[in-house]
Amino acid sequence: MNHIEIPFWKKKSLIEMTRREWELLCDGCGRCCLEKLMDHKTGKVYYTDLACRHLDLETCRCKIYSNRTFLASDCEWLIPDKIQKYRWLPKSCAYRLLMEGKELAWWHPLISGNPETVHLEGISVRGKAVSSVGISEDEFENHIISDRIWGRTAGTD
């Protein structure tokens, strides 16, 4: 009999994953670190092109990740229990996809084996976001971006 290795994200639920597996699941798109606005009548969430001041706009990774509890009190930590409630996560987000019983896309670094594919496919914020430093909340509306700017395989939000 041939043995195949079943990847951890296919054999474990989000809650069963180790801390390392949980972190590996993040595709590094940086989209959850963009400022968002919600229409309170419809519940629709609008993404802006304004990135958290702690996001590295080139790597799309948090510059203070291990210290964000202390340095960014408004940063939303993703934990398994919250994924279902966080409807603002982009449809391409690996945590959301798995929670919805869907597959990871080909460009996810765990599938492609290449951390650049999330950028090459246009899923990440690289080249699409600016820092929110110095921008007042009154101006956020002027920074709303269309779902269409994301890669063609990202889905709309």
Q: Which residues bind ligand SF4 (CB under 6 A)?
A: 26-33, 52, 54-55, 62, 64, 68, 72, 75, 78, 89-90, 93-95
Q: Which residues of 62-85 are buried (b: 16+ CB within 10 A; e: fewer)?
A: beeeeebeeebeebeebeeeebee
Of 2 and 152, which CB lies nearer to ligand SF4 in the complex structure? 152
SS (H, E, C) 74-116: CCCCCCHHHHCCCCCCCCCCHHHHHHCCCCCCCCCHHHHCCCC
In the bound state with ligand SF4, the residue whose beta carbon lies nearer, of 31 and 128, is: 31
Pairing of strands 34-38, 130-131: unpaired
Report the nearest approach of ligand SF4 to the CB of residue 146 (Å). Answer: 17
Residue 4 or 143: the one with the smaller Cβ distance to ligand SF4 is 143
Distance in Å, CB of 128 to ligand SF4, minimum = 13
Nearer to ligand SF4, 1 or 101 (CB): 101
Using the minimum distance from each CB to ligand SF4, give the nearer residue, 28 or 150: 28
- Minimum distance, C-beta of residue 35 to ligand SF4, in the bound complex (Å): 9
Q: How far is the CB of 11 from ligand SF4 (least distance, A)?
A: 20
Shortest reach from residue 2's CB to ligand SF4, in Å: 32
Q: What angle do CA 93, 96, 8 make, to 5 degrees?
A: 90
Cβ–Cβ under 8 Å, residues 70 and 77: no
